[in-house]
Amino acid sequence: MFLIYSFFLVVQEILSSLFSDISGSIVPYLKNWVLKECDVNKDIEIDGLAQITLPDMQIPLFERALRSYVKPIVDKAFYRVELALAPNLPLEIALEQIRTQVKIDEIILSLEQANKLLDT
């Protein structure tokens, strides 16, 4: 969690510098940021055959969407499982909720179940 806060602090500093905003009137302080949307994902390395046969899927859920697709990264292929979220909460609260409530392994299990339903 520390790394992501550090990243956002750097973004805030860079934006403030670009806009010459020393008072925080253009770029709000990090504690006032609201996380509108984000994707939580996990990449699973796959072989060449899986790259051809695995389906691209998108399953709409209530306030989120579950997606899966093949993603080439450098010289390897990965099957990306992705959960799109729209927390619309202050950054600190949203990140804490995501950390405690979103379990990527549960997402993968849901995806496997969805794949089985599509096969039948």
Whole domain around residue 75: which residue ranges? 33-119
- Count of structural domains, the chain: 2
27 with 37, same domain: the answer is no
Assess whether 14 and 37 both reside in one domain. Answer: no
Contacts of 112 (CB under 8 A, 6+ apart): none
Instruction: State the Cα–Cα distance between residues 70 and 84, nearest whole angstrom.
Output: 16
Same domain, 54 and 15: no
pLDDT at position 32: 94
pTM of model > 0.75: no
What does the pLDDT average to over 106-111?
68
44 and 97 share one domain: yes
Pair 68, 107 in one domain: yes
The sign of the CA dihedral 67, 5, 95, 26 is negative
The 10s digit of each residue's pLDDT in 52-93 is 777 787 878 766 788 888 888 888 888 888 888 899 999 999
Please determine, for residue 47, whether its predicted confidence score (pLDDT) is greater than 90. no
- Give the integer Cα–Cα distance in Å for 16 and 10: 10
* 75 and 112 assigned to the same domain: yes
The verdict on 52 and 106 lying in the same domain is yes
